[in-house]
A = this chain, B = another copy of it.
């Protein structure tokens, strides 16, 4: 079990004692994922939030018409879940899948709630995490509404080069909200 990356992730924002660190790790479950493995299925129950130790995951929504929209990617040191389903216990809107062989640490909803009671300091940690996630989504939403596809593509490539190089163009297109064909055109004439 490798909790080093997670503990370092936490220590960016708060300080835990050795005992608290130990306690935190007992709440986690390590999972090894093969390429293509499904972590959460759309329509299912989302009962955990995941920290990525290694590899890359994608969270996407599949519409009734069969169109995929990528909500987020997560690589090492990122947290990922369907936060709406995790919080409300409603059916998940998103599927979360490993794009490559990956390793994650899962924190169940029950353990998440317990953990915050046992180590109240972690409220601060997750407050900062949620605040940063909110900021990211707000800025992305603004870009999506105010910019043409070409600029959205340029911004994505500049902001997340390490993620982009692991992705197919089809996956990038589904994150930008355009078709792979149109992304191909954008790339050709730039």
Contact = CB atoms under 8 A, between A and B. Distances in A.
Interface residues of A, number: 32
Interface string A174-185: 000100000000
Interface string A137-153: 11111101110000000
A87 interface: yes
B139 A141 contact: no
Interface in A105-136: 116, 120-121, 123-124, 126-127, 130-135
Contacts of A146: 61, 63, 67, 69, 177
A177 B83 contact: no
Say what secondary structure dominates the interface of chain A. Answer: helix
Nearest to A145: B177
A135 B67 contact: no
A71 interface: yes
A130 B138 contact: no
B141 A134 contact: no
Contact of A141 (B71, B83, B126, B130): B71
Interface of A: 61, 63, 67, 69, 71, 83-84, 87, 93, 116, 120-121, 123-124, 126-127, 130-135, 137-142, 144-146, 177
Given A116-B124, A130-B130, 7 more contacts: A61-B142, A69-B142, A83-B131, A84-B139, A87-B131, A87-B132, A137-B137
